[in-house]
Amino acid sequence: MQYKVVELSTVDEGSLERTLNEWAAQGWNLDGIQFAMRESSKRPAMAFVLFTRQGSPARHDEDAARGRLMRMSETGSPTAALAAEYTREHVAWAAPMISPLSAHERLARLAGLDEPEPREEGLTLEPEE
């Protein structure tokens, strides 16, 4: 018998449903779900979805894994490619994030200020008498 554990860091109805549908389509059977809880919240912090299926465990193909890693190192990961495409499509929205900002300037923009207050340099405090 084969065992598979899928770890979910985002636990909601949608992520559980997608995980169950994805692995069931590959022939895996749901064996159970375990939730990791936080003391400060009633919502689970993580979920471990347990699957089983009949048959001998799949053999590890080291050469194929090395080949995939080599292709990814040459072409980049599919996730990075999707992120780059998304950024290109939304370049106007992403432009403020591309230029480096100081923490002060970033907070000013988040606060809705058009221009951040000038920094005070060389400020000397008078001792109290």
Residue 98 resides in a domain:
no
Residue 16 resides in a domain:
yes
**Which residue has better confidence, 83 or 21?**
21
Provide the residue range defining the domain that includes 6: 2-53
- For residue 24, the model assigns a pLDDT of 92
Residue 119 resides in a domain:
no
- For residue 48, the model assigns a pLDDT of 95
Measured CA angle at 13 (ends 46, 90), to 5 deg: 90
Residue 40 resides in a domain:
yes
User: Mean pLDDT over residues 49-55, rounded?
Assistant: 91
The total number of structural domains in the chain stands at 1
Claim: this prediction has a pTM higher than 0.75: no
Q: Which DSSP string do the residues of 77-123 spell out, in sequence order?
A: -HHHHHHHHHHHHTHHHHHHHHS---HHHHHHHHTT-SSPPPPP-S-
Residue 37 resides in a domain:
yes
pLDDT in tens, 72-115: 777 776 777 777 777 777 665 545 555 666 777 777 777 777 66
- For residue 117, the model assigns a pLDDT of 62
The H or E element that residue 18 is part of is helix 13-25
